[in-house]
Amino acid sequence: MGITSQINAWQEKIQTRYSPKLLSWLAIAFAVTLRIVQYFHNRSLWADEAVLALNIIDRNYLQLLQPLDYNQGAPIGFLWVEKLAIQVLGDSEYAFRLFPFLCGIISIFLFYDLAKRGLKHYGIPIALAFFGVLEYLVYYTSELKQYSSDVAIALGLAWLTQDFIRRELTPKYIAIYGMIGAVAIWFSHPAVLVAGGFAIFSLVKVWKTREFKKLPQLFAIFATWGVSFISFYLVSIQSLAANETLRESWRKAFPSELTDINWLVDKWQDLFQNPLGFEKSLVNLGIAVFFIGIFSLFRRHRQTLAFVSSPILATLLATYLHQYPFRNRLLLFLIPFIILLFAEGIYYIGKKTYLKFSALPTILIFGLFAIAPLSHSIELLSNPIEREEIRPVLTYIKEHKKPGDLLYIFQRGEYQFQYYAPKFGYAEGDYIVGVDDLEDGKEVSSEEWERYTADFDALQGNPRVWLLFSHVDKFDEERERVLGYIDSLGTKLDRFDRTGAFVCLYDFSNEAQ
C-alpha cells in the first residue's frame, strides 16, 4: 500500500469515527466548561467593572436612564437587568456577572445553529472550536460589561431574521418579530447595526425572489425596530455620543477620510489580534484565509455570504460615517460572523487539495491557527483569567491590620475599593483616598508629582501605614516612581501581592528615617 493510500485510509477511519456532529458537540461541551470555570472562579471586580457596579448600586431604574458617572456607558436594558439581578441576588460578583454568563452560554448554541445553516461538514466543528476557545469570548462571559450580551443579541437577531424570512408573516408574527427586535436594540448598542444589516439583506432577498407581497410585512417589522432605535437614541445614545472623554478615546477608531485605506488595513489587522485573538505572526495569513472563505461562499452560496457579511458591512459603514468606533472589545459582536467566514476558508483549502479526503490538510491548517488558543484555553481550566485581585488583598489587610493603623488607597484603585469597602466593614473616615491623577493616565507632570509627594509627605510620623495599590499595571513609570518615593520616606515592613493589586505596610515614624 502506497503512502497516499495509507493517508487516505487513515483519514477515512478518522472521518468514520469522528463525524462533524460528534466533533461539534465535543467543541460545545468544552466551550461551556471553559465558561463555567471562568465564571465560578469569581475573580475580583476590576476597575472598569467597579465603576459600572457603583452606578448600578447607587441608582434606581429611572436614574439609570441618565448619563452614567465615571464616563461609563451601557445599554439601558443591560443596566436594568443588572439592577434586577442585584436586587434579587445581592450585589455580589456572581450576581453582577450572571447575565453576561448566561448570554455567553446561550451564544454557543445560537452560533451552532448559525454554523449549521451556513457551513458544510467539518466547517461546522472548525467554527465551533474557534468560537469556543477564543480568550476574549471566554473572558467577557464573566465580565460586568455588555460585550457578552452584544454577541448573544447579534446571534439572536441572526436567528430571528432567518426565521421570519422563511415564515408566512401573519399579523401575529409581524408583532412578535417587531417587538423582539425592538427590545433587543435597548440591550445592545451595536444591535442596530446588526439589525440594519439584516434588514437590508431581507429586503434585497425578497425583492430578488419577487416575493413582493412580503415587502409591506417586512417594512412593518423594520419600522418597529426603527422607532425603537430612535427612542433609544434620544433617551441614551445621544448623551453618550456627546461625552467628550469617550469621543477622545475613540478618536483613532475612526478613519480620517473615506479613502484612508491604510487605516482600514491597520484596523483589520488589529481586529484579528483583538478581539479575534490571533498570534501576531499569523494575522496576515488569517486574513487571507478569511477572504478565501468569502470567495468560497461567493461560489457556493451567495445568499449565505450576503447574510453573514451584512453586519460586518453595516459596521464598516457606520465607522466611516463616524457613528461607531472600530475598536477591540466594541467589535466582539462581529466575531461570530468573521469566524464563520474564516472556518469556511479553512474547509475550502482542505477540500481543494489533491488528496481523496480533505481531513489531513484541513487538520494541519486548523492546527496552525488553533494550537495557541487551544493550549491557552486548556490552561484556563486550571488558571482562569484574572485582572485586578483586590479582594484577597483587602482580606490580608483585614487579617493583619492593628488598631491605629492607617489605610491609604492609591487613587487608581479608589472605585474598586468603594465597591468592596462595605463588604469589609469600612466606613467613610476609616481610610484615606489619594489625590487624583490630573492627566488621567498620561505621563506624570511636575504639577501632578508635587500633588503626589505632598499627599505622601502628609503620612509621615505614622508608624504603621497600609498603602493599597490596584489598577496600576498599565502605568509602569508612575508606579515605580511613586514606590521609589515612598521607600525614601520610611521602612517597608510587609508586602502582599496578587494579580494586578498589592499592599505595602510602611513605618513612616521619625524612628524609621
pLDDT digits (tens, 9 = 90+) for 308-362: 999 999 999 999 999 999 999 999 999 999 999 999 999 888 877 655 445 666 7
Rounded distance between C-alpha atoms, residue 154 and residue 160, angstroms: 10
Residue 385 in domain: no
Rounded distance between C-alpha atoms, residue 311 and residue 24, angstroms: 25
Residue 180: CB partners within 8 Å, gap ≥ 6? Answer: 160
- Could you tell me the CA-to-CA distances from 277 to 132, 280, 342, 373 in Å, in that order? 12, 9, 13, 8
Q: Identify whether the C-beta of residue 471 lies closer than 8 Å to the C-beta of residue 360.
A: no
Q: Are residues 428 and 291 in the same domain?
A: no
Provide the grid cell at 423: 463588604
Residue 1 in domain: no
Q: Are residues 360 and 404 in the same domain?
A: no
Out of 380, 407, 437, pick the residue that ends a domain: 380
User: H or E stretch including 100?
Assistant: helix 93-118
Q: Cell 436594568 maps to which residue?
A: 80
What pLDDT is stored for residue 390 in this prediction?
97
- Could you tell me the CA-to-CA distances from 47 to 138, 146, 500 in Å, in that order? 19, 15, 10
End-to-end CA distance of the chain: 84
Rounded distance between C-alpha atoms, residue 438 and residue 478, angstroms: 13
Provide the grid cell at 330: 466594541
Q: Are residues 409 and 435 in the same domain?
A: yes
Q: Are residues 349 and 470 in the same domain?
A: no
Q: Could you say which residues of the chain have pLDDT below 70? A: 1-18, 353-361, 438-443, 510-513
Side-chain-facing half-sphere of 123: CA atoms under 13 Å: 27
Q: Are residues 188 and 303 in the same domain?
A: yes
Residue 395: CB atoms within 10 A of its CB come to 14
Provide the grid cell at 350: 482542505
Q: Are residues 374 and 398 in the same domain?
A: no
Rg of the chain over Cα atoms, rounded to whole angstroms, equals 26
Rounded distance between C-alpha atoms, residue 378 and residue 114, angstroms: 25
Rounded distance between C-alpha atoms, residue 92 and residue 207, angstroms: 51
Q: Are residues 169 and 266 in the same domain?
A: yes
Q: Are residues 341 and 439 in the same domain?
A: no
Q: Are residues 325 and 299 in the same domain?
A: yes
Out of 317, 350, 380, pick the residue that ends a domain: 380
**What domain range includes position 343?**
18-243+255-380
DSSP string, 255-317: -SSTT-HHHHHHHHHHHHHTTS---GGGHHHHHHHHHHHHHHHHHH-HHHHHHHHHHHHHHHH
Q: How many domains does the chain have?
A: 2
Residue 387 has what DSSP assignment? Answer: S
pLDDT tens profile 50-104 = 999 999 999 999 999 999 998 899 999 999 999 999 999 999 999 999 999 999 9
**Pairing between strand 491-498 and 406-409?**
unpaired
Q: pTM of the entire structure?
A: 0.92
Q: Are residues 236 and 325 in the same domain?
A: yes
Burial of 198 per CB tally in 10 Å (0-12, 13-18, 19+): buried
Tell me, what CATH number does 410's domain have? Answer: 3.40.50
Out of 356, 380, 404, pick the residue that ends a domain: 380
Q: Identify whether the C-beta of residue 414 lies closer than 8 Å to the C-beta of residue 433.
A: yes
Longest dimension (CA), the chain: 90
Q: Are residues 56 and 195 in the same domain?
A: yes
Q: Are residues 411 and 294 in the same domain?
A: no
Residue 50 has what DSSP assignment? Answer: H
Q: Identify whether the C-beta of residue 279 lies closer than 8 Å to the C-beta of residue 372.
A: yes
Rounded distance between C-alpha atoms, residue 300 and residue 309, angstroms: 15
